[in-house]
Structure 1
Amino acid sequence: MDIISVALKRHSTKAFDASKKLTPEQAEQIKTLLQYSPSSTNSQPWHFIVASTEEGKARVAKSAADNYVFNERKMLDASHVVVFCAKTAMDDAWLKLVVDQEDADGRFATPEAKAANDKGRKFFADMHRKDLHDDAEWMAKQVYLNVGNFLLGVAALGLDAVPIEGFDAAILDEEFGLKEKGYTSLVV
């Protein structure tokens, strides 16, 4: 695959054909793209909502009311709609989940390697949480890394996509109870 050709061909789709649906294999591929995106220190401060049913897409499209009505059809007509969400707090419990999953995945040759990795990740998390006080922005940047990876990845699969920031995040967050789960929506 020539990645430059994919990047040159990729574009932001302005309208979707509602009659075209992803195959089950394509749907699984986009979920894999979401899961395996890079993030700083492998922090993975994200959550995704993938809506493919008419009901699910309608719930997402509620956020395109009023000032963002021009994006409603895109959300309703696309085969699948992905809501990219960021954590609202980078807490120690999350960091422990990440390092424990890395350990379960066999990423560390020794317990010392695991401890060093955990220490390094906590260093950067604490820098953003306690020194710079910009952890929300830092986590949003990680989600945007995922968005970029996703857009290039779906283009490589021959699929069209468009990143949408024109939506009411408060409506979307409320619709899916995201704040209560420790997340906020950033991009559709």
Structure 2
Amino acid sequence: MNLLQDLNWRYATKRMTGAKVPQEKLDTILESIRLSASSMGFQPYNVFVIEDQEVRKQIQAVAFNQPQIVEASHLLVFAAWDPLTDAQVDDYIQHIASERGVKQETLQGFGDSIKGMIKGRTADENFQWAAKQSYIALGTALVAASMEKVDSTPMEGFQPAALDELLGLKEKGLRSVSLLALGYRDEEKDFLAKAKKVRKPSEKLFLKVA
């Protein structure tokens, strides 16, 4: 199937069967997240991959008891860095130098520009920027999952402070942003499984500027 057919196939799955996603498919989805676009390539977030059922039950309790959390094969938690620091920038610059085989000094201007951007914003503005970057990766994961014929459910319906405490995110310099359940649809229980996908028609979504 082609990309547009895959995207038409996917929807925010409401009920899942509990069947496991094969490791190679999961690895492809995770690699798509790693390769996703990010402003300046900085990737100011981490992604937790949670398979443990007990942990997911605890997460479900702070996520309005959404069934996909425990019915999924895996649950991903996207968490943005908070705060953003010079040390993170230095690590990134060092990584670029190592990967590309160049001297770190040649990247100083680039690193200084990132640090300047961070210092020019409030802590909350930096977190919101980092959170937006994580959403780009979330979107990439949704596309990759559809191409692997793995069902997915992106979720914002949870209590961030409670989830942060549950996973010890503050101590890690992180704050939760979104969840992504990966698994397989339960067509008997999911009322949307056979429903037609509904989106705006092109003429109402796309506005041309002459």
Q: d(CA) in 2 for partners of 1:6 and 1:113?
A: 43
TM-score (norm: length of structure 1): 0.85
CA contact (8 A) 2:28 2:144 kept: no
Unaligned residue ranges in structure 1 (runs of 5+): none
What does 1:84-163 correspond to in 2, within 5 Å? 84-106=78-100, 109=102, 111=104, 113-129=106-122, 134-163=125-154
Deviates more, 1:142-151 or 1:25-34: 25-34
- In the alignment, what sits opposite 1:61? 60
1:89 counterpart SS class: coil
Q: d(CA) in 1 for partners of 2:23 and 2:55?
A: 17
CA offset digits 1:33-85 (Å, max 9, x no partner): 22222211112111111111212322322322xxx22x1x1100000000110
Q: CA RMSD in A?
A: 2.0
CA contact (8 A) 1:128 1:134 kept: yes
Higher strand content, 1 or 2: 2
Higher helix content, 1 or 2: 1
Runs of 4+ in 1 over 6 A off after TM superposition: none
TM-score (norm: length of structure 2): 0.77
Q: d(CA) in 1 for partners of 2:94 and 2:85?
A: 15
CA contact (8 A) 1:33 1:149 kept: yes
Identity percentage over the alignment?
A: 27
2:121 counterpart SS class: helix
- Bigger Rg over Cα: 2
CA shift in 2, pair 1:95/1:54, >3 Å? same
Unaligned residue ranges in structure 2 (runs of 5+): 180-210
- In the alignment, what sits opposite 1:8? 8
Tell whether 2:69 aligns with 1:75: yes
